[in-house]
Structure 1
């Protein structure tokens, strides 16, 4: 098992609902056994997190670590599986939590508006079906009650 000794993004950028963590030389280091390997940005250099689902999106990105003339190449999905990088990502994301909360509030308001419109549409359709039923069964009282409601709305 690998452990992450240092994980400090060179810079962090928010793009819509994604959080990009970009790493530079020695801003990320891992310990394998008793040996310390430092990140070098020869292939992959960023982690993209979807703030809605809290999932890492670029799992195929390859991270390269170096110690002297030895290299370790790890795809991001493998790094996530065999190291404690999750706890470091959690800490970084907690610093960006206010960004994520803004997104959640916007989504919640949007969902509420859409839900209200959908409910109103379903109620209107149901009222029309009930009017049809009142006409089929010759229920004049029900018909009058339902059509009065349609005129008011």
Structure 2
């Protein structure tokens, strides 16, 4: 039986229709057969939730977990069947859900979202440049995957 030991997002990104919960090392772990397995971003590394319906969109995602040399994969459909996973997940995404009155996003709000997204991308590019300057290969790869 699988239980969720810890679920913390590396960061949460909001889009017009979705909340994207990005996962990273040491932020997500499960317990199986009395062993703790740490999430490793080998296959899927995000959970996408519809902001309006509050449903998980990427139900076909498969997550990899590691304990020493032992690696297991758990599908999103298996994780969804764990009540504590859903509770923690919706606790993280709750403040990003759309309410009835907020579903009619104005043109001004769309422009603000576009500008914020552009600023986020520019910031990631600056951080990539910094990682290159510092010869930090790990951070370069990590940040490059965000683009």
> What TM-score bracket applies, with the shorter chain setting the length?
0.5 to 0.7
Partner of residue 113, structure 1:
none
Q: CA deviation at 1:83?
A: 6.0
Q: Which has the higher helix share?
A: 1
Q: TM-score, normalised by structure 2?
A: 0.65
Partner of residue 101, structure 2:
105
Over aligned residues, Cα RMSD in angstroms? 2.0
Partner of residue 38, structure 2:
38
Q: Does 1:20 align with 2:26?
A: no
Partner of residue 55, structure 2:
55
Distance 1:106 1:83 in 2: 28
Q: TM-score, normalised by structure 1?
A: 0.63
Mapped contact 1:17–1:51 kept (Cα < 8 A): yes
When the two structures are aligned, how many residues end up with a matched partner?
106
Q: Does 1:11 align with 2:8?
A: no
Distance 2:80 2:102 in 1: 30
Give the secondary structure class of the aligned counterpart of 1:25. Answer: coil
Give the secondary structure class of the aligned counterpart of 1:48. Answer: strand
Q: CA deviation at 1:107?
A: 3.0
Q: CA deviation at 1:63?
A: 0.1
Q: CA deviation at 1:82?
A: 4.4
Which 4+ stretches in 1 moved above 6 angstroms? none
Q: CA deviation at 1:90?
A: 2.0
Give the secondary structure class of the aligned counterpart of 2:72. Answer: strand
Unaligned runs of 5+ in 1: 111-153
Mapped contact 2:30–2:36 kept (Cα < 8 A): yes
Q: CA deviation at 1:44?
A: 0.3
Unaligned runs of 5+ in 2: 107-147
